[in-house]
Structure 1
């Protein structure tokens, strides 16, 4: 870009085709770049913030899962895979009452109140994949 004693606005004007004037947005970006700062347009920053918040939400959800004990994680996986408390008890050589205790502890730690919420949580952290159903129509 040609050097100019008038500042970055004039440099950008020198390289633009005749008849085109830069928007305030372009001039702002040039000023920021000239100052060594990073510039993001409002659309870009909105998208980046949304992506960040989505990632943060996922990290928070995963963090809660990692707070479960290894046994609770095992019970959780079996629960969301559709096993009954009785089947889980048999598979893990524990009583159905112990499965109930683990289930209550899991739900408290993951901050969910219902089984469907527990399943949605499992999907949100990638522990459970949902197959799209075929339309009946």
Structure 2
């Protein structure tokens, strides 16, 4: 927020486990395949809601004049052909060898084993980085 970059919120909707009253730890500690819905919202020059309820991904854009969310894309998929990746390079010293090898291969460019030049993009706002990957292709990594 302090550097005026797009930020966002990620969310997961789970069904309650059992019929007991109140909320328990088991209600939250469920496998991802148990999600009823999941998505994120990007707050920036436009507000965008990306949502799945298990069958594809839809994108909604906030119409600021009406205050309504308008469906702007359906069945969104990450483009397969890409030359981008998003990773925090300052943590390289902590990466597992396979992660480091993958990034080294990308950085080697067209003369390297992947045979093409890659661009690294890093906004340091996970939702903004993930949204760019969803729309332009690539991979988002956050290894430690």
TM-score between the two structures when normalised by the length of structure 1: 0.17
Bigger-Rg structure (1/2): 1
Determine which structure has greater relative contact order: mean sequence separation of CA pairs < 8 Å that are 6+ residues apart, divided by chain length: 2
TM-score between the two structures when normalised by the length of structure 2: 0.17
The answer to which structure has the higher strand fraction is 2
